[in-house]
Structure 1
Amino acid sequence: MSLTELRSPAGSALLTLAAGLVDGDQLKAVEALRATGAGAELAGEALTQATLRAKAVAKFGPDAGQMFFTRAGLEQATRLTVADRRAARLAAAGVRTIADLGCGIGADARAFARAGITVYAVEADPGTAEIAAANTAGLPVTVEHRDAQSVDLTAFDAVFCDPARRAGNRRVFDPRSYSPPWDFIESLTRRPAVIKLGPGIDHALLPGTAEAEWVSVGGEVVEAALWCDRLAEVPRRATVLPGDTGRSSGRGDGTPGGAAQLTGGGTREAEVGPTRAFVYDPDGAVIRSHLVAELADTLGANIADPTIAYLYADEVRATRFARAYRIDLVLPFSLKRLRSTLRERGVGRLTIKKRGSALEPESLRKQLRLDGPNEATVILTRVAGAPVTLLCQPADVS
């Protein structure tokens, strides 16, 4: 990529023109860009960047229009709201300098710097390091093309590591295949460090001395993070953020629009009991962090099967950690009976949710042959090991 050319006044004008062409025919877009006098390669690069910037708005909001990306770098980059919250927590903990190991396109380095932290960032891929330097220009950030394991960490208040979890075009799920490798990552847990991980990380791999946090944005679990040494505050934390790209106002206190946080040990099991008037579907961050029992305590709820994370309660309470539904009917699963019940109720629009069921929602929807003016939610699950269907409506918690 010719970053120098794209960052020049002429390149900026080319990127502005490309931004208005990304939704049209790609061949015509390149021709329009070349008509400005740009060569074929530069025109293609401008269109690629404009396309990536459009996709990046979901993660970075208006900032995306001033940043540079690679496809893999955009996919792994931390969302703006998550990066800002992490940086605010580190600054509140007294971190003034940080080593960013595997900085990627520089998303977290930008957030750290904006929070008043001086950043030394390294990236093993030279092209990505160049992009990170461009994305952090004007901020107290130094970016070098360098192997993360070669950095002397003793000069920094804290370390941030976001190991690469891709091999070529494939995602890597085995931590032993991360870059830098898992044994190096484990060594970081013995110092003040934050380590970003995939949300599916095996709890058995997590050191008992670290805080493990799972973060969801707009209902999607986007990452796990280890907070190590003096940065650890609790064993487990679930953090729920709204699904916008505006900056968070810091650590959050659970009020509407901010961050909601649930903490605990992550080792308890929720009480098992019957289905009741309402069912809660916990946020994925709560489930991943093994804090379902802690959420059940706040809601006066129980589970109805020891392996299923739906919570049941006699009354509904407002919560950011779960969606609530009023249960109208509980049926042993039977396709024939479910079809008949939905027809009797005139249900033509159906939301299908499941946990603990092998049925595929779209296949079931076709078999139900829905018709009617009404709407309902069906939850396919198990109660005491038996497959059941819950016919529900979203609960009013206003």
Structure 2
Amino acid sequence: METSLPNALLADPGLQTRAAEALERDGDRAPLALRKAGIDPDLAAAALTLADLRRHARAKFGDLAPRLYFTRAGLEQATRWPVAQRRAARFAAAVHEVTDLCCGLGTEALAFAQAGMAVEAVDMSEATAGYAAANAAALGLPVRVTVADALETPLAESAFADPARRSGRTRNFNPADYSPPLDPLLARLRTARFAAVKLGPGISHDWIPAGAEAEWVSVDRDVVEACLWLGEAAEVPRRASLLKAGEWHELTGTGEERAEVGDVADYLYEPDGAVIRAGLVAELAETLNARTGSEEIAYLYSDTLAESPFARRWKVGEVWPLHPKKLKPLLAERGIGRLTIKQRGTGIDPAALRRQLKLKGPNEATLVATRLAGDHVAILCAEV
């Protein structure tokens, strides 16, 4: 359960600033510094917790972080600000008002309001709703925040939901254990004309309802979330959306195609995790004129080098059997002392393999352990 935001802290921006400065300057001695300044210990602890959370929040919120209010659990589940802004823009292009269910700290509600939409943010927890209201006030955005049950709240023409995926300190991977559970939440969202629900990136395709669009989002190669788009919001069966160096890229398709299977080639491509989770490897292979070495494995091979935001690229050097005793002298002959080991489809433990190889030498390379036509192989390569 979230604790309420102390009113004394909310009303004292100066204390918030002093706490941030003390944390930066004094580190672990910051509590003592604030107590010596005559600040109540409980209030000092709350101010320092907020300062610490704001520091960690910069990775998700950038320059907005020092103005917002967080809890640890809320920050962990909060959407990255660029992702929330992009989703809000998609809503705002189609509708004018939105009900934000399970609003948490209010990240999505803030993005919707910033995009010019009329927003009602709803959360069952009065304490959590208080954080959402404080964040809306901090940014000067007109968000109406109410305390209510997501499954009973009347919806506007559009709706968004981000169900809680934690129980205390335990993360729930089964959507039936979300709060509220995914099935009744989807039934509720279907009553809106335009709707979406944010999910954990590990969501199984079995949970994707017929007619929905399933999108996976990655930020600088880190898959951060999945999103189901419902009703008029569904545009394509599958979408992979990637944010790299501040620029968005999208790949869409059915998620049902399969890439051609063939031999290893001059270049190896590793698709972004969002592409793999969305089942769009075949669509990517087509754009790269590439093939896979095994139907179940997402590495792609091509005779030509192509630029793509959707995959990392390696120049293939040599292909060897995946036998540690044979690999050790081969790597030693090439003076490879620094080796990045990647694996897919072999079940090996890269750390254990590295210990067996006892690497020495001045050179560096990447070893990809994978399957080709059913054989376990080691591909020595260098990233382009």
Cα offset for 1:25?
A: 6.3
1:223 corresponds to: 225
2:42 corresponds to: 41
1:371 aligned residue (344, 360, 363): 360
Name structure 2 gaps, 5 residues minimum: none
* Alignment map for 1:93-242 (pairs within 5 Å): 93=94, 95-137=95-137, 138-153=140-155, 156-187=156-187, 188-189=189-190, 191=192, 192-242=194-244
Cα offset for 1:105?
A: 0.5
SS at structure 2 position matched to 1:316: coil
Cα offset for 1:21?
A: 3.6
Opposite residue 56 of structure 2, the aligned amino acid is K
CA distance in 2, matches of 1:16, 1:377: 46
Cα offset for 1:183?
A: 2.6
Cα offset for 1:89?
A: 1.0
What are the superposed Cα offsets for residues 117-157 of structure 1, whole Å, 9 maximum, x if unpaired? 1110011122111111101112120111221112111xx12
CA distance in 2, matches of 1:214, 1:157: 24
Contact 1:189 1:210 in 2 (8 A): no
What are the superposed Cα offsets for residues 305-327 of structure 1, whole Å, 9 maximum, x if unpaired? 11111001001100000001011
Cα offset for 1:365?
A: 1.8
SS at structure 2 position matched to 1:280: strand
In 2 relative to 1, CA 15–331 (structure 1 residues): closer, same or farther, beyond 3 Å? Answer: same
SS at structure 2 position matched to 1:148: coil
Cα offset for 1:268?
A: 0.9
Opposite residue 195 of structure 2, the aligned amino acid is A
2:323 corresponds to: 334
What are the superposed Cα offsets for residues 171-200 of structure 1, whole Å, 9 maximum, x if unpaired? 001111111122322211353101101111
Given the two structures, how large is their TM-score scaled by the length of structure 2? 0.95
Contact 1:2 1:42 in 2 (8 A): no
2:313 corresponds to: 324
Contact 1:14 1:33 in 2 (8 A): no
What are the superposed Cα offsets for residues 79-120 of structure 1, whole Å, 9 maximum, x if unpaired? 011001001111112x11100000000111111110001110
Structure 1 residue 5 corresponds to structure 2 residue 8:
yes
CA distance in 1, matches of 2:219, 2:80: 9
CA distance in 2, matches of 1:149, 1:159: 12
CA distance in 2, matches of 1:219, 1:143: 34
2:275 aligned residue (259, 270, 286): 286
* Alignment map for 1:354-393 (pairs within 5 Å): 354-393=343-382
What are the superposed Cα offsets for residues 225-282 of structure 1, whole Å, 9 maximum, x if unpaired? 0111111111110001026xxxxxxxxxxxxx41110000111111111111111000
Opposite residue 115 of structure 1, the aligned amino acid is A
Cα offset for 1:35?
A: 2.3
In 2 relative to 1, CA 356–24 (structure 1 residues): closer, same or farther, beyond 3 Å? Answer: farther
Contact 2:122 2:145 in 1 (8 A): yes
SS at structure 2 position matched to 1:231: coil
- How much identity, in percent, do the aligned residues show? 51
Cα offset for 1:348?
A: 1.6
Q: Which moved more, 1:360-369 or 1:119-128?
A: 360-369
Q: What is the total number of aligned residue pairs between the two structures?
A: 377
Structure 1 residue 55 corresponds to structure 2 residue 44:
no
Name structure 1 gaps, 5 residues minimum: 244-256
CA distance in 1, matches of 2:197, 2:28: 42
Contact 1:348 1:370 in 2 (8 A): yes
Question: RMSD of the alignment, in Å?
Answer: 1.4
SS at structure 2 position matched to 1:238: strand
Given the two structures, how large is their TM-score scaled by the length of structure 1? 0.92
CA distance in 2, matches of 1:125, 1:362: 44
Cα offset for 1:377?
A: 0.6
Cα offset for 1:353?
A: 1.1
CA distance in 1, matches of 2:24, 2:322: 46
SS at structure 1 position matched to 2:247: coil
CA distance in 1, matches of 2:99, 2:69: 22
1:253 corresponds to: none
